[in-house]
Amino acid sequence: MSKSSMQKQKLLYLQKILLEKTDEQHALTLTEIKEQLAAYDIKTERKSLYSDLEALQQYGLDICRVRTNTVRYFVGNRDFELAELKLLVDAIQSSKFITHSKSLKLIGKLEGLVSENQGKELNREVYVTNRVKTLNEQIYYNVDFLHNAISQNKKVRFKYTEWRVNFGSQQKIVRAPRRDGADYIVSPWALCWDDENYYLVAFDSEADKIKHYRVDKMEKISLTNENRDGAELFGEFNLARYAKSVFSMFGGEECNVKLLVDNKLIGVIVDRFGSDTYIVKESDERFCVTVRVVLSSQFYAWLFGLGKGVKILTPKRAVDEFESKIQELLAYYNSKN
């Protein structure tokens, strides 16, 4: 590219240098800025630089000046603060639904939103590599595809997979389709991020009920020509309440459960069901709470983990199921098998 062409792009390269090389702890003098521009084969005068910096500032770039033995320049406010980007990086790292390679690419893009020196604080690859991550590289695009299906009001078709143990010659864990490979066709209504996984909440017309599916287990997703069903159910659907009632997104029958809880476990109840949960004093040591949950093995496991601090009062069926599971587990450990 000719020198005259590079001169026309001087403002663009000046902005690039300021964004990449400067921050509150790393400012550049006019001489250093001139040297940086010279690396792009752009020559400039000090007087011209003053005008260029003013033009960028009028355009909206927050150029700050600090005076020590000389005047230095740096970019102050940016679209994202460093602390905000660190939160996003932590979210990416802890998200099992984002693969290892996609995690590194996303973090790399976030680094481009701050200076090079600040970007080093976001580069935490060692933590990413030690996280449990999904192996389904397609999930990144599945989420976007499902959002589009929802906006277009169309049903989706897909294969739903699960992990299985293959005790063949190699004895390995393999991913296999459910229903012997038959297609699932559902009406997508919402996407939910729960327990570090992405779930599609959809209406199954054949079963006439709401179901959810882990997006990383969905493969070969495509749109159908059919419009979605289930609008009457999702008209007043509360996704937050649904996520609270379904423990670790394990399905089952939803019902009201009354619990007797030790006062010291109020934090556990709030974390699970929210601070607006209505409680009734039972004694100086305990309170009662009625919550809407899906009766599932995960719910009973949550109860078991709380030990004597929580007791199911009603419905009787939930009490009986919980007792039965405890007896089955006790019998299993007492058996000689």
- In this structure, what are the phi and psi dihedrals at residue 160, rounded to the nearest 5 degrees? -110, 125
Q: How far apart are CA 136 and CA 99, in angstroms?
A: 7
How many CB atoms sit inside 10 A of residue 188's CB?
26
Q: Predicted confidence band at 128 (pLDDT cuts at 50, 70, 90)?
A: very low
pTM: 0.57
pLDDT in tens, 221-257: 999 999 999 888 887 777 767 766 665 555 667 789 9
Q: What is the dihedral of CA 231, 232, 234, 235, to 10 degrees?
A: 100
How many CB atoms sit inside 10 A of residue 135's CB?
9
pLDDT in tens, 148-196: 999 999 999 999 988 876 656 665 667 789 999 999 999 999 888 776 6
Mean pLDDT computed over every residue of the chain: 84
pLDDT in tens, 5-28: 677 799 999 999 999 999 999 999
Q: How far apart are CA 163 and CA 216, in angstroms?
A: 12
pLDDT at 88 over 90: no
User: Mean pLDDT over residues 128-149, rounded?
Assistant: 71
Pair 107, 101: CB distance under 8 Å:
no
44-47 long-range Cβ contacts below 8 angstroms, 24+ apart: 44/10
Residues 6+ apart with CB under 8 A from 249: 192, 194, 195, 197, 199, 212, 214, 243
Dig out the tokens for 100 from the structure: 């290892």
pLDDT in tens, 267-319: 888 877 877 788 888 988 899 999 988 888 888 988 999 999 999 999 999 99
Q: Predicted confidence band at 126 (pLDDT cuts at 50, 70, 90)?
A: very low
Quick one: how far is CA 132 from the chain centroid? 14
Q: Predicted confidence band at 125 (pLDDT cuts at 50, 70, 90)?
A: very low
Amino acid at 213: Y
Q: State how beta strands 310-314 and 253-262 pair.
A: antiparallel
Amino acid at 295: L
User: Mean pLDDT over residues 326-330, rounded?
Assistant: 92
Length of the chain: 337
User: Mean pLDDT over residues 35-50, rounded?
Assistant: 91
- Top pLDDT among 337 and 274 is at 274
Q: What is the dihedral of CA 57, 61, 66, 67, to 10 degrees?
A: -30
Pair 189, 203: CB distance under 8 Å:
yes
